[in-house]
Amino acid sequence: MSDAKTAIDETVKSNDVVLYMKGTKSMPQCGFSSRVAGVLNYMGVEYTDVNVLADADIRQGIKDYSDWPTIPQLYVKGEFVGGCDIITEMTLSGELDTLFEKSGVTYDKDAAEKIRAANA
């Protein structure tokens, strides 16, 4: 296993929620990463952010790891959930709430409801 794949595997499996993104949760460097980080931040989710711009091996490695061509990528309890469009859809449908509840991930349900109300 390559160093990048090993690092990714350890990060994904040792943290409840991980977002591979361009930039950081406090300073996203692309609109798609900003949208997903914004949702997680607003919902009060504790998560680990990995800036793929800081390491080319990780940037390519995460695409190979998930067999998903784009970034950001969200992982919950070691499982790949999706990218920006999927997370947006899951947030608006309430599926993300359900996933967090099933996975034991703490989040602000009122904030999730406000996101849905603002986008109704």
Q: Provide the residue range defining the domain that includes 35.
A: 3-118
pTM of the predicted model as reported, rounded to 2 decimal places: 0.96
CATH number at residue 82: 3.40.30.10
Query: CB-based contacts of 102: which residues, under 8 Å, 6+ apart?
Result: none
Number of domains in the chain: 1
User: Using CA atoms, how far apart are residues 21 and 7, in angstroms rounded to an integer?
Assistant: 15
Kindly provide the residue ranges of all beta strands, DSSP E only, lying in 44-117, ordered along the sequence: 48-51, 73-76, 79-82
Which helix (DSSP H) or strand (DSSP E) does residue 6 occupy? helix 3-14
* Residue 1: per-residue pLDDT: 54
pLDDT of residue 32: 98
Q: What is the mean pLDDT of each run of 10 residues along the chain (120 residues)?
A: 89 98 97 98 98 97 96 98 97 98 97 95
